[in-house]
Amino acid sequence: MDSFVYDGLPSRVIFGAGSVARIGDEVARLGATKILVLSTPRQRAVADAIAAQLSGRVAGMFDGAVMHVPAPVAASACARAEQLGADACIALGGGSPIGLGKAVALRLGLPILAVPTTYAGSEMTPIWGLTEDGVKRTGRDLAVLPKTVIYDPELTLSLPPAIAGPSGINAIAHCVEALYSDTANPITSLMAREGIAALARSLPAIVADPGDVSARSDALYGAWLAGASLASVGMALHHKLSHTLGGSFGLPHAQTHCVLLPHVAAFNRSAAPAAMDSISRALGVADPPSGLRDLARAIGAPTSLKEIGMAEADLDQAAELATQRPYYNPRPVTRAAIRQLLDDAFYGRPPIPAGDSV
């Protein structure tokens, strides 16, 4: 076995149907008495119900979370926290409120209790993102890692299949890139393979029967593993492209992952054979890029950048931005190759077959 480094991050997970009822005990563990609850407008009713469980320990609410954590929104949430004298945050929802909680934690040092209602997995990571002047910056800081995460599959029952499916593929993307990361290790690779398998079997079941609590539990389990994988190793080209298209061109985060992932997997196929073998086994397919595209199609997720709002005229700029300050990637990245990849993704072409190249 090759030498490796594995950093186990300090986090507490409460998992299971009905586990949100334990939120009062978890707040008590934090010693918090003036909590700011963060959510999106769509999740406000659930946020209010959670606040009602906490016996006056909620100081206020902020339901303005949006995708990619725009700097003005983060500033408003921080101002609200300071106005209330908040000593902790509860982030309820998907990547938007959890990302907003991280922005508050980064600036003010407040602990976060995360209650995810999607499958993105960001609640398990010390990775923050902030979008300012059309550019999304990311970084790592243990100060933003939630102290406790409560996974309650019953809270995901209101998540429609059209959102649940892409959210889960977002999580699969974390697993895929964890397998060929330059800091990959046997522990995260085990989690990544299991995460892909759990999500690949549960997402079609959720789309077929949105009330299937067992499938919802399986998807949250996969999301947990995906987030833990993302937390422990570095990401690569796929995440660089997703951050670029989301932060600079306003594309929806999870749907962008759905479109790009098969193409990036095809781009990296020959440079990461061990990772591709793991993905094949997890998906139960011969060709990982084709299997990832087939999964997206099976759950009704978008497969082209055109259909999620990308303008063809912006592809040149996107290729330029994505190749500036590139992330590590197992295959060298060139502007010409990325421009071709984006063109294929824009038109929704099938991923490049094995043996071909961009």
Return the SS3 of 292. helix
- Tell me the pTM: 0.91
Query: Can 12-156 and 161-347 be said to share one CATH topology?
Result: no
Q: Where are the domains of the chain?
A: 12-156, 161-347
Listed in sequence order, the DSSP H helices in the chain are 23-30, 44-52, 71-84, 95-108, 161-179, 186-208, 213-232, 237-249, 253-268, 273-283, 288-298, 315-322, 335-347
Closest to 30 in 3D by CA, of 149, 198, 120: 149
Per the CB < 8 A criterion, the answer to whether 189 and 277 are in contact is no
Q: 3-state DSSP call for residue 316? A: helix
How many Å apart are CA 323 and CA 329, to the nearest integer?
11
The count of other CB atoms within 10 Å of the CB of residue 190 is: 13
Residue 350 is given by DSSP the state P
- Each residue's pLDDT, cut to its tens digit, for the chain (358 residues) gives 678 888 888 889 999 999 999 999 999 999 999 999 999 999 999 999 999 999 899 999 999 999 889 999 999 999 999 999 999 999 999 989 999 999 999 999 999 999 999 998 999 999 999 999 888 888 999 999 999 999 999 999 999 999 999 999 999 999 999 999 999 999 999 999 999 999 999 999 999 999 999 999 999 999 999 999 989 999 999 999 998 999 899 999 899 999 999 999 999 999 999 999 999 999 999 999 999 999 999 999 999 999 999 999 999 999 999 999 888 999 999 999 999 999 999 999 999 766 555 5
Q: Report whether CATH 3.40.50.1970 matches the domain 12-156.
A: yes
In the structure encoding, which two tokens stand for residue 21, read together?
A: 């009822």
User: CATH assignment of 161-347, given 1.20.1090.10, 3.40.50.970, 2.40.110.10, 3.40.50.1970?
Assistant: 1.20.1090.10
- What is the DSSP secondary structure assignment for residue 70, as one 8-state letter? B
